[in-house]
Amino acid sequence: AQSVSQHNHHVILSEAASLELGCNYSYGGTVNLFWYVQYPGQHLQLLLKYFSGDPLVKGIKGFEAEFIKSKFSFNLRKPSVQWSDTAEYFCAVNPAPNYGGSQGNLIFGKGTKLSVKP
């Protein structure tokens, strides 16, 4: 069965530290990849997405992610975290999307809680 693994359940960092959150998926075909963020008390919001093209994707708030097809990975990075980045981060995959109008449900990882100490 298709699955998404997020390696870290809870990450604690000090402000200005660098962040890398791991995400691996199990699906051999074409995929669309996403990172969503859920700030305390707020909705899930899209952080960034990869459909095709440049495997290094830049998102909002200084986040980026790199798609490495050979490793089935889509790790999230930020060079210098802020206290306001405290949130839960979810990696998600849409396996077998239709080109030019991809739809279909997302398969989510279990999430990584990030706590940033001021």
Partner 1 sequence: GAGVSQSPSNKVTEKGKDVELRCDPISGHTALYWYRQSLGQGLEFLIYFQGNSAPDKSGLPSDRFSAERTGGSVSTLTIQRTQQEDSAVYLCASSAWSNEQFFGPGTRLTVL
Q: Among 1, 54, 103, 118, which residue interacts with partner 1 (rule: CB under 8 A)?
A: 103
CB of 86 to partner 1, least distance (A): 19
Query: Measured from the CB atom, is 7 or 117 closer to partner 1?
Result: 7
How far is residue 35's CA from residue 114's CA, in Å, rounded to a whole number?
A: 14
Stretch that binds partner 1, among 19-27, 54-62, 77-85, 91-99 (CB under 8 A): 91-99
End-to-end Cα distance, the chain = 41
DSSP state of 96: S
Question: With contact defined as beta carbons under 8 Å apart, do 21 and 110 qualify?
Answer: no
Count the site residues for partner 1 by CB under 8 A: 25
Binding of residue 104 to partner 1 (CB under 8 A): yes
CB of 59 to partner 1, least distance (A): 12
Question: With contact defined as beta carbons under 8 Å apart, do 33 and 53 qualify?
Answer: no
Question: With contact defined as beta carbons under 8 Å apart, do 102 and 39 qualify?
Answer: no
Q: In sequence order, which residues have a C-beta less than 8 Å from that of residue 1 and are 6 or more positions away?
A: none
7-46: contacts with partner 1 (CB under 8 A) = 32, 34, 36, 43-46
> Can you give the binding site for partner 1, defined by CB under 8 A?
32, 34, 36, 43-46, 49, 51, 90, 92, 94, 97, 100-111
